[in-house]
Structure 1
Amino acid sequence: MKIFLYILLLFSCVFLKAQEKEFWLIDSQTNQKIMVKDSAAAVKYLDSLTQNYYYFTEIKNVIKEGNKTQILFDKGRNYNEAQVHLSEEMVQNFKYKPDFFTKNLDSLKKEISEKYRKQGFVFNRVKSQFKGMKDEIPLVDLTVVKSAERKIDKIVLQGYEKVPKRFMKNLENEYQGKSYQEATLAKLAQSLQNHPFLILQKAPQTLFTKDSTQVFLALQKKKSNSFDGVIGFGNDKTDKFTFNGSLNLNFRNMFNSFEMVNIFWQRNPDKGQTFDLQTDIPYLFKSNIGGNFKVNIFRQDSTYANVKFTPALYLHLRNNQKIGVRGTFETSSVIDSLYVQGRDYNKQGIGLWYDYTEPTEIELFQFKTRLRLEADYITTNYSKDNIAANQTQYFISGERNFQISGNNYLNIKAESALLSSKNDFSVNELLRFGGWNSFRGFNEKSLFADLYYFGTAEYRYLVGSQAFFDVFGQYGEFQNKSLSLKPKLYSFGLGFNFFLPIGLMSFQISNGNEVGNPIKFGDTKIHWGILSRF
């Protein structure tokens, strides 16, 4: 019985297959054969040739043999040049002329389609309708089927989802509800590029449904804790060869709130030591308000010691922009009674600051652009002299990486600070600069001033994505009114940075002096550092 059923089923399949009709389209120019499922599909294919500029497609012959139909056609000449007439909507939206001649109709249609895409009409279709010939040039009407405008309805995180709720809310406020455009997605991706706590694993992906447009972000938690150690070699003021260096330990995002705890210690060749302890909490109480609290201790051998506390609150304007207000509470004590250049004092003040950072695509560079502005109003009391003085302090720093061509980059940096008052300053309250991350070629914090400014130009050559070599030059001036000094300074040097399994290693040789003075080999500074993330 089963064998009989199998035979019956086999004959049924063969019989039904024999009853199916076959439609073949044959191109007379190329002899290419195309099979379609029915006559409607054959008509649709022939009509589509018109949309591809074969306006004179002709059916040459139709041959029927049983269930098989062969349609022989000739496409004729392809006309991509045309005299175009645009719809009134296109003329008004994109400032085209209503009638004009184009040598590339296909390129024009893509251009118009892209303009509609940028307006959020992602699935638009530009249609061409052949209206006849004039002087052997096709006359074509262009219209558009826009479909519905698409907007970003939702941003969905994948992978690492434990980001601060306020950070996610900021992303939604900036991008959700915006017209869906490739430029918008590129901007979103760029805002997360080289983020201190996140890695965007791939470009944003989009899910289109009938009623919504969702953008998916594949995130990964970045290893953002870091250890940064620098060892320096150079001569002190007495031309004695000394070691110096710094340690910088950062604990970041351990509790998935983008928080940061920083511990910094530095020793300079002139026996000065700096200790910083800083805590930053970017989203207090799930708001856009952040808090930053810093304690700075500076001790100059056995001469004097400064302690400074600067609590600050700031507002996130965007993910890469902050504006804040801070307080300043500082005290200084002269330890050596024979040190007459310093004075005991207490300071209280209030200030404003602004910080902007533009991320970079190059992991070896910390950022593409960085801008920092600070202004403080301070009241100073010199306890032993029973004198009170008002002071203002300003600071500005800017840095930018420019791509010259290929792997060649130019880093430009400028920095300036001013401490202003009607009263004279003691040495222990002056601005201190110079060193590895400041005016290179000089010892760390060895230059004392009430006003300084300098600029740096650094050429960088990238070797793949793992290393770069640099050559730099610096020029600047500073003013020290108490000593009636206003020297002009320069420095120059070279170095290299490259990735090792333990982190980013930096090596730098520099030399600096006052303009007009000869270069001294003994003033050469050597710094070696390693930045390791964990």
Structure 2
Amino acid sequence: MSLKLFLKIFFILFCVLAQAQKKQYWLIDSETQIKKKVKDSATAIKFLDSLAQNNYFFTQLKEVKVKGDSTEIIYDKGKNFNETYIKLSDSIVKKTRIKKDFFTKNLDSLKKGINQIYIDDGFSFSRIKSKYKGQKNGYPIVELDINKNDKRTIDGFVVKGYSRVPKRFMKNLEKEFKGKTYDDRNLLAIHKNFQSHPFLTLERQPQTLFTKDSTQIYLFLEKKKTNTFDGVIGFGNDKTDKFTLNGTLNVNFKNMFNGFEAINVYWQRNPDKGQTFDLQTDIPYLFNSNIGLNMKVNIFRQDSTFANVKMLPAFYYHINNRNKVGLRGTFEASSIIDDLYIQGKDYNKKGIGIWFEMIEPTEIDLFLYKTKINAGYDYLSTVYTKENLKSPQNQFYFFGEHNYHISGNHFLNIKGEGAMMNSKIDFSANELYRFGGWNSMRGFNENSLAADFYYFGSLEYRYLIGNQAFFDFFGQYGQLNNKSLNVKPKLYSVGLGFNFFIPIGLMSFQLSNGNEFGNPFKFNDIKIHWGILSRF
């Protein structure tokens, strides 16, 4: 600020103090005649000082008029000098590693850039100060210095709205962010933690309360509707080319007790009279820790031929909100019901395994998730009871899926799945993997494919129609190995579908056809699936 301007501002202050009883103060731009009312003399001085700090280095006070209870302060702000010679203070040079003296054509951008460096380092209330130092070649010389104030770090979180979240979840959030620099990068990371959380949503953007000694982030949470009902009806031919009706019911009860817990009930009937029943319970934070418990019971019955019962108790550790690694046990028993079924054997299995799961949520309601990876290994001891045979067994499993955004409304769903069991003894038909159907190798009947080793991959093009529907076209390729039948067929599947929201949920309709390479394409093998996914 120039000395002349300082003396004139001092004169204003003197005049205003002498007229302390006056109530109205007006700032008038002599060039534009724009009038601005301010509440007191201090505000007027602050405004004129801000002009000098924002490139109006030759602001002049023209006149002060006192009219009754009104004081008019007439000023000329002069030219806005955005092109200037710059002198940086030693502290700015040390911090930014910019040279001390130079010419800039955009002073505003330079000040903003320097200030952002300090903000990113936690000095949220930093302010660049400008001081006029004379002229050179018709341009002003400006010295820039920094007023950093106190450095700010994240000191904690305050939950508003839906506050009955697991304590361990909040402890994990504080562990990840408490003590970190208060900056845009960490604020964005906090927001992303809730952006597509399976149980929570942010009612509004996180807010910050600054006090002299702390920085608190306020989270305005809302509980999501996470219970789901997933029903699928399928139409197709069985092994005898007879038209059959089959279906799947999948009901999930989630976060009913505000602990992020889940209870899943699954039932499926395939065209070949096989039925599957699953009951699964998941408790993510046992005793307010990062250890979770998952219990699963699976029952499969193939008409009146055989029945399998499997129990899978597991403990897992939350690496973070999206990744978990676990240890599980396997207890499985199978009984042959039909004595004429010579391909099967009675057996018992028990063992231990490890597994990993990663789920990256999606911002698109039409998709279940953006990325999912599930992999596991189990070491089992198998006893064939009637034959009195015992053999160790290794099992491997992998599943991966990712929704890739091509551009605009165009997406590509990439999926792969594979599993393998290994033993020194030949496998019986009733212990093989069963796959195929709506969520597997489409175009085949549910659980109609049996193998000791299989894999398949799929590419699915999806075109979104707003946020309410999408078309899809897909192709799949896979292979299975069945040692007991000595077959290694290569398989393919093609199809199309349409998915759209209706008032009760997401409805899906799909046509698909799958076959073995080398076999003729048959239209009567087309599978029709219709399903609904409803949240409540």
TM exceeds 0.5? yes
Aligned to 1:431: 433
1:151-196 Cα offsets, whole Å, 9 max, x none, are: 2222122222222222222222222332222332322222223333
Which residue number in structure 1 is paired with residue 256 of structure 2?
254
| 1:282–1:291 CA contact under 8 A, matched in 2 | yes
Query: Which ranges in structure 2 are unaligned for 5 or more consecutive residues?
Result: 1-17
User: Aligned equivalents of 2:419 and 2:53: distance in 1?
Assistant: 66
* Distance in structure 2 (CA, Å) of the matches to 1:272 and 1:65: 97
Match of 1:9 in 2: none
Q: 1:79 corresponds to which residue?
A: 81
2:198/2:361 contact within 8 Å kept: no
Return the offset for 1:19: 5.8
Q: Distance in 2 between matches of 1:64 and 1:220?
A: 56
In the other structure, the counterpart of 1:8 is: none
Per the TM alignment, residue 17 of structure 1 is displaced from its structure 2 partner at its CA by 9.4
Distance 1:321 1:19, change over 3 A: closer
Match of 2:5 in 1: none
SS for the counterpart of 1:347 is: strand
Q: CA RMSD in A?
A: 2.5
- 2:166 is the counterpart of 1:164: yes
* Counterpart code for 2:416: A
- Residue 10 of structure 1 is matched in structure 2 by none
What whole-Å deviation, never above 9, does each CA across 1:274-319 have from its counterpart, x for those lacking one?
Answer: 1111111111122211111111111112222111111000111112
Say which of 220, 226, 229 aligns to 1:227. Answer: 229
Give the counterpart of 2:423 among 415, 421, 424. 421
TM-score of the two chains, using structure 2 as the length reference: 0.90
- Structure 1 residues 53 and 522: CA distance shift in structure 2, 3 A: same
> Which residue, out of 184, 199, 218, partners 2:201?
199
For residues 55 and 339 of structure 1, the distance between their equivalents in structure 2, rounded to whole angstroms, comes to 97
Cα 1:122–1:230 change in 2 (3 A) is same
- Which whole-Å deviations, capped at 9, do the CAs of 1:45-79 have from their partners, x for residues lacking one? 33322222122333455667788765554333222
Q: Is 350-359 or 488-497 further displaced after alignment?
A: 488-497
State the SS of the aligned residue for 1:443.
coil
Paired residues, number: 519
What residue number does 1:48 align with?
50
Correspondence for 2:363:
361
Residues 326 and 352, structure 1, Cα contact 8 Å, conserved in 2:
yes
Report the alpha carbon displacement of residue 111 of structure 1 after superposing the two structures with TM.
Answer: 2.2
Amino acid of the residue matched to residue 286 of structure 1? N
Which residue does the alignment assign to 1:321? 323
Q: Which residue of 1 aligns with 2:113?
A: 111
C-alpha distance in structure 2 between counterparts of 1:248 and 1:232, whole Å: 14
> Does the C-alpha gap of structure 1 residues 59 and 351 become closer, same or farther in structure 2, counting only changes over 3 Å?
same
Give CA deviations for 1:430-462 in whole Å, capped at 9, x if unaligned: 111111111111111111122222222222222
Going from structure 1 to structure 2, the CA distance change for 1:74 and 1:310 (only over 3 Å counts) comes to: same
Write out aligned runs for 1:306-345 (5 A).
306-345=308-347
Give distance in 2, aligned partners of 1:179 and 1:320.
23
Q: Which residue of 2 aligns with 1:140?
A: 142
* Separation in structure 1 between the aligned mates of residue 123 and residue 251 of structure 2, nearest angstrom: 50
Tell me the equivalent position of 1:179. 181
Which 5+ residue runs of structure 1 have no aligned equivalent? 1-15
User: What is the rounded CA distance, in whole Å, between the counterparts of 2:327 and 2:175 in structure 1?
Assistant: 24
Identity percentage of aligned residues: 63
1:229-244 alignment, distance < 5 Å:
229-244=231-246
* Partner Cα distance (2:39, 2:258) in 1: 58
2:12 — aligned with what? none
Do the aligned partners of 2:22 and 2:71 also contact (CA within 8 Å) in 1? Answer: no
Partner Cα distance (2:359, 2:97) in 1: 37
Post-superposition Cα deviations, 1:191-239, rounded to whole Å, max 9, x if no partner, equal 2233332232222122222222222222222222222111001111222
User: 155-164 or 319-328, which moves further after superposition?
Assistant: 155-164
